[in-house]
Amino acid sequence: MEKEIHLPVSEEEVRKLKVTEIVYVSGIIHTMRDMGHRRAVEMVNRGEKLPFNLKDGAIWHCGPIARKVDDTWEVVAAGPTSSSRFTELGAELVRKQHVRLTIGKGTMGKSMVDALKEAGGVYLVATGGCAALYAKQVVKVENV
């Protein structure tokens, strides 16, 4: 079965998802890797407001390759990166920022699984080897 989710997404809608469903996500998706997670958690822990809204949104574990064209960014490749190393920091963001979707490659640890269960979130696995295809789906790059 296939589902379409447009961000922001409610906890109720996420909890309706079933294992093995193919999920298409549209809306603003935040790409984050190691430093992005670390900086976001540090800001939140200091009581600072993030420069973007993660509530009911999505974090994609991705290190896109982009080139600057005039005043805009064009994504050339956007493949998922291994999510296991984001387990602890990702769990903090899910709990404190109410992130609903985490998208990545591979598995995540128990603390992230527990955080997603508690917060009404879900981990979506992106297929590796599709970086060029994913890049074509990016409409606009903001807030680099």
Half-sphere exposure (CA, 13 Å, Cβ side) for 66? 22
Quick check: is 50 in a domain? yes
The sign one gets for the Cα dihedral 138, 56, 13, 84 is: positive
Say what the pLDDT of residue 143 is: 72
Mean pLDDT to the nearest integer, 54-67: 95
Q: Is the pLDDT of residue 33 over 90?
A: yes
Distances (CA, A) of 96 to 36, 42, 56, 118: 15, 12, 11, 11
Say what the pLDDT of residue 110 is: 97
User: What CATH code is carried by the domain that includes residue 19?
Assistant: 3.20.130.10
Quick check: is 143 in a domain? no
Say what the pLDDT of residue 10 is: 98
Torsion, Cα 89 95 100 102, to 10 degrees, reads 10
Quick check: is 14 in a domain? yes
Q: How many domains does the chain have?
A: 1
Per-residue pLDDT band for 115 (boundaries 50, 70, 90) equals very high
Mean pLDDT to the nearest integer, 9-24: 97
Question: Is 37 one of the annotated active-site residues of the chain?
Answer: yes
Quick check: is 144 in a domain? no
Question: Which residues on neighbouring strands pair with residue 5, listed in sequence order?
Answer: 25
Quick check: is 142 in a domain? no
Quick check: is 117 in a domain? yes
Q: Is the pLDDT of residue 38 over 70?
A: yes
* Helix (H) or strand (E) segment spanning residue 68: strand 65-69
Q: Is the pLDDT of residue 144 over 80?
A: no
Mean pLDDT to the nearest integer, 59-88: 94
Catalytic one among 6, 30, 37, 61?
37
pTM of the model: 0.92
Arithmetic mean of pLDDT over the chain: 95
Distances (CA, A) of 77 to 19, 23, 62, 73, 112: 28, 20, 10, 12, 27
State the angle between helix axes of 87-97 and 110-119 in degrees (0 to 180), rounded to the nearest 10. Answer: 10
Quick check: is 80 in a domain? yes
Range of the domain at 89: 2-137
